[in-house]
Amino acid sequence: MRSPSIWPDLRIAEVAHDLANTLQDTRLALAHLRAYLRQREATYATELRDQLTTIEASLATNEALLNTMVAAACPTANLPPLALRGIDSRQLVQAVVRQLRARAEDRRVTLALSLGTPALPLIACDPALLARALLNIIGNAIIYTGAARRDGSGHVLVALDMTGPQVQITVTDNGPGIAASALAQLGQTASAPPGCGLGLAFARRVITQHPRGAFTIRSVEGSGTLVAIAIAAEGTSPACVREVGVADVRHDARQH
């Protein structure tokens, strides 16, 4: 467990990490947009709208991250609260995947999405923080899978489904996996392996602070990794519109 006195510094590190990733996505989207415009394809208008949507989403994320960074600069700043409300998980996941398309294409990774049944209920979540958590989980899967499979055979599958009273989102890749020794240290901040990053640690932190939120990870070194998160359906958790203090930080053994 980290001392509360260094939480503001950790929060700044988390925000800077996510800010760098979203800036990269913005640059990639702009590069794709310029390429399509140069080609002057007949269908460029549709592609232009999609790319602009990605750019706008990235910039909105960056603005929120910068605001959080400014607030965290105060030595007495608390960790950000969760503001829960009913959200369509399918729409949220679609937006995150769309934002990461350029990153997947840049690394020659196939990014697939399975939305499950159209009857999925709303989930009780903080949409901004859940989106950040998913950007980390899916984005890291793309990065590491692409690095391990430079021949273009890498794939990442994002899938939604119901599991009891919760909506489950799974991210499965065929990347390098995580060593068993590293998996054994997940959640042990003080003994996290060298090079351990903040991405999965932040995602776990956000998910487990949601009412009935669950975060699990399974990995086979050399074969790939599966990360599963579960969020309570609206109406099955206490007060869907409220604030919940975020505490307790755990690190995961994977650089992000």
**Phi/psi-derived region of residue 200, left when phi > 0, alpha when psi is between -120 and 50, beta in every other case:** alpha
Helical pair 7-39 and 89-106, crossing angle rounded to 10 deg: 70
Question: Pairing between strand 154-163 and 109-114?
Answer: parallel
Pairwise CA distance, residues 85 & 92, whole Å: 13
E strands present in the chain: 82-83, 85-87, 109-114, 123-125, 154-163, 166-173, 214-220, 224-232, 243-244
Question: Pairing between strand 154-163 and 166-173?
Answer: antiparallel
The CATH homologous superfamily to which domain 82-244 belongs is Histidine kinase-like ATPase, C-terminal domain (3.30.565.10)
Pairwise CA distance, residues 164 & 174, whole Å: 27
- Amino acid 22: pLDDT: 77
| Burial (CB count <10 Å: 0-12, 13-18, 19+), residue 175 | buried
- Amino acid 195: pLDDT: 39
Give every residue of the chain whose pLDDT is below 50, as ranges.
1-6, 75-79, 187-197, 239-256
3-state secondary structure of 244: strand
- Amino acid 58: pLDDT: 80
Residue 22: partners with Cβ closer than 8 Å, 6 or more residues away: 58, 61, 62, 65, 99, 135
> Look-up: residue for tokens 């697939």?
112
- Amino acid 237: pLDDT: 56
- Domain-by-domain residue ranges, the chain? 4-72, 82-244
